[in-house]
Amino acid sequence: MAKIDTILAIDIGACSLKVASFSYPASGGLVLEKFAYKEFAGDLQDEEYKIALSEALHEIVDENSFIDKTVYFSFSGQLAFIRFVKLPPLGEEEGRVRQVVEYEAKQNVPFPMDEVIWDYQLIGNIEDNTEIETMFVVVKNDVIDELTQIIEDNNKNPLLIDVAPTVAYNAARANGIGEDDCSMILNIGGKCSSLIFIDSGKFFVRPIPIAGFAVTQQISKEFGIPFDDAEELKKKHGFVALGGAYEEPDSEVAATVSKIVRNVMTRLHGEINRSINVYRSQRKGAKPTKLYLAGGSSVMAFTPRFFSEKLKIPVEYFNPFQIVSLASHIDKEALAEVAHMFSEVIGLGLRHATECPIEISLMPVALKQQQELKKKTPYLYAAAASLILCLAIFWSAVSYKKEASQQLVDTAAFVEKRTQEDLKLVNEARKIKERAQTQYNNAMSMLNGREDWIVLLDELQLLLPDNIWLTKIQRGTPSGTESLIAANRAQPRSSIRSMLASRGASSDRKVASPDIEWLEIQGYTLKMNETTHMVEILRKKILKSEYFTDKESELQVPVLNEGRGVDNLSQFKMVIKLKQPIKQ
């Protein structure tokens, strides 16, 4: 296994995520750099579980800045099928061992072999020429594919996939548990408990479908409240009632909850006793002498005391961090609160650091091939480089006797080809630049003309003499304006409608709107006694303006009817050419 500086270990539980970043100093050992724990809701067999898991993993990675790319992860034993089978003596021939194991796997796995990923572990020494106990771990392809996809969606690279009970066993063995006697680890999770036997190299695990959710369901049923409220009630008042002559708590709710917890723990104790009997009778195991507690649901008060009284053996919480060095920035108080839930994560970290007693790999074949290809990539590059080098030497030897002139011709042709390619790129770049320049010029033209109308209207306002006001400003034409106005006034409404209809019929033609070169203004002036008419004053001012024409011929003042029935008013109209047309 290629060593790397750090890995990210992730244990995916039925309702929680445990994540830790480990580093591996050159001097050896295992150093915890970061850790995180997060709960989420969902049913293992439900699509919502995958969504909740994906969101929880994304949040935990972002919030804690886990930057390690290589991931070792394990998943709940509920998702796997674990079976222990005894095989006859097989000798030392490895191929024969594999054949027998595959045959037994087909007989014991309750699914078609092409629908599952499986691995096995021989527990015992095949050289002893005695029966060998074999453990099979089987999981559906879909489960592994979905979990690896969730890991990869968070920009991580799964390098090892294991199952929770086996990595917990490795962590326990590394911490010296079960070396000289038989010990048990009881992991009480949310939806399932796992009982692991560690007996001087022997290994046995039994999943028990009694855990924290069983307590919550009973509380929900007893109090007639929703599941989420029952979970909160369990966390607030949950402890194992001591039973017997012990005094009950003052709170009736706490007393009821504690009795429910004790009832569930009593059922769990019954399953533990049955598991011990199976282990001792069928597996020829020794009597357990100590129990270690782990898992999120094991922290309810008086749990160790309850099992110690029932099993008549010492009970304590499993602390897997005894073999792990802690980085200086680790919050030790926060770690102490969740240490009993990180045995699987420590086991994953050990898989990278050292050889472990049980090494299960549930990597999909396609993912294995992809990773094998990545490992071989440097060698493929080296082989390709060697091949290219050999070809270059051969070509050099063949080309050595060629005439120098031919070499110059080839070189010139190569340079010409490259030059033509570069020229093509330059021309394409020039066209892109010209298009961009045109767009830029158009945009600047629009921007520069955005104030034309405002400036023009301001100028008209400044030029107007007293007693003159404007009533209309519109596009003008150098001649024919009067006749056009008269024609429009005289045209019947039906004719106007038909004219609009005829225009609409050709509206699909795209005609560019011409720039405005002439401006028509209309207004009124008071009739005064001055010798110079106000309209004439306005006309002269316009001819002197920098915005309007200074040519008499380009400023037309058609005669309009005066007064409109009012003696002291005179109506006027001017058609003026602009010095600078206004863009449309």
Task: Please state, for a pLDDT cut of 70, what percent of the chain lies above it.
Answer: 86
**Cβ neighbours for 271, distance < 8 A, ≥ 6 positions apart:** 193, 195, 208, 210
pLDDT category of residue 565 using cuts at 50, 70 and 90: very low
In a domain, 345, yes or no: yes
The answer on pLDDT for 325 being more than 90 is yes
Q: Residue 47's domain is classified under what CATH number?
A: 3.30.420.380
* Tens digits of residue pLDDT in 242-252: 876 566 777 88
Does residue 186 share a domain with residue 158? no
Does residue 345 share a domain with residue 435? no
Q: What is the mean pLDDT of residues 514-532?
A: 77
The answer on pLDDT for 60 being more than 70 is yes
Question: Given 290, 317, 344, which residue is the final one in a domain?
Answer: 317
Looking up tokens 């001017």, which residue turns up?
574
In a domain, 199, yes or no: yes
The answer on pLDDT for 486 being more than 50 is no
Does residue 222 share a domain with residue 206? yes
191 DSSP 8-state letter: S
Does residue 136 share a domain with residue 93? yes
Tokens of 508: 């699909």
Mean pLDDT rounded to a whole number for the chain:
84
Contact indicator for 23, 324 with CB cutoff of 8 Å:
no
Does residue 237 share a domain with residue 196? yes
Q: How far is CA 515 from the centre of its chain?
A: 54
**pTM given for the model:** 0.64
Question: Given 262, 292, 317, which residue is the final one in a domain?
Answer: 317
In a domain, 543, yes or no: yes
In a domain, 483, yes or no: yes
Q: Residue 554's domain is classified under what CATH number?
A: 3.30.980
Weakest-pLDDT range from 17-31, 288-302, 540-554: 540-554
Does residue 210 share a domain with residue 134? no
Residue among 429, 417, 363, 406 at smallest CA distance from 73: 363
* Tens digits of residue pLDDT in 540-550: 889 889 888 88
* Tens digits of residue pLDDT in 425-467: 999 899 999 999 988 888 887 777 778 888 888 888 899 988 8
287 DSSP 8-state letter: P
- How distant, in Å, are the alpha carbons of 214, 241, 516 from that of 265? 10, 10, 92
128 DSSP 8-state letter: G
Count the domains in the chain: 4
Does residue 59 share a domain with residue 98? yes
Which residues form the domain of 51?
1-175+319-363
Question: Given 419, 446, 473, which residue is the final one in a domain?
Answer: 446
In a domain, 551, yes or no: yes
Residue 346 burial (CB < 10 Å; 0-12/13-18/19+)? buried
The answer on pLDDT for 485 being more than 60 is no
Does residue 107 share a domain with residue 19? yes
In a domain, 368, yes or no: no
Does residue 297 share a domain with residue 323? no
In what order do the strands lie in the sheet containing 516-526?
468-475, 516-526, 569-582, 555-556
Does residue 214 share a domain with residue 140? no
* Tens digits of residue pLDDT in 28-54: 889 999 999 999 876 666 778 889 999
Residue 192 burial (CB < 10 Å; 0-12/13-18/19+)? buried
* Tens digits of residue pLDDT in 151-205: 999 999 999 999 999 999 999 999 999 988 999 999 999 889 999 999 988 899 9
Contact indicator for 87, 131 with CB cutoff of 8 Å:
yes
Q: How far apart are CA 147 and CA 161, in angstroms?
A: 10
Does residue 162 share a domain with residue 64? yes
Give the per-residue pLDDT at 2.
47
Does residue 402 share a domain with residue 441? yes
**Cβ neighbours for 268, distance < 8 A, ≥ 6 positions apart:** 188, 193, 208, 210, 211
In a domain, 370, yes or no: no
